[in-house]
Amino acid sequence: MRWICYFVTAPKLVHEGQFVAQVEVDLIETDSGWAPHLSLDDAYTLDDVREALRRGDIQSASRKAQVFVLTPVAL
């Protein structure tokens, strides 16, 4: 059996505290019931960005993602 496989680039958001990071990942689309899914490298990238945001290391997170600060508008 042959699988049809293609990649779709999509943004994933990682929210940690007052920060949100937008990480571009490749979603793997196949004919299987497990689609779409991330590559292992993209999953590690999301974890790395999340850990950097938890430590408050915005510089490291911004190497792999766009980082935004959330500001409350009203309480």
Which residues make beta-bridge pairs with 30? 5
Q: Residue 6 pLDDT > 60, yes or no?
A: yes
Predicted TM-score (pTM) of this structure: 0.84
2: amino acid identity, one letter = R
Per the model's pLDDT, the better-predicted residue between 35 and 14 turns out to be 14
| Domain range list for the chain | 5-69
Task: Specify the amino acid at residue 62.
Answer: S
Residue 55 pLDDT exceeds 70: yes
What is the mean pLDDT of the segment spanning 59-71?
97
pLDDT(1) > 90: no
Q: Of 71, 53, 42, nearest to 14 (Cα)?
A: 53
| CB-based contact 16:68 (threshold 8 Å) | no
Split at pLDDT 50, 70, 90, the class of 30 is confident
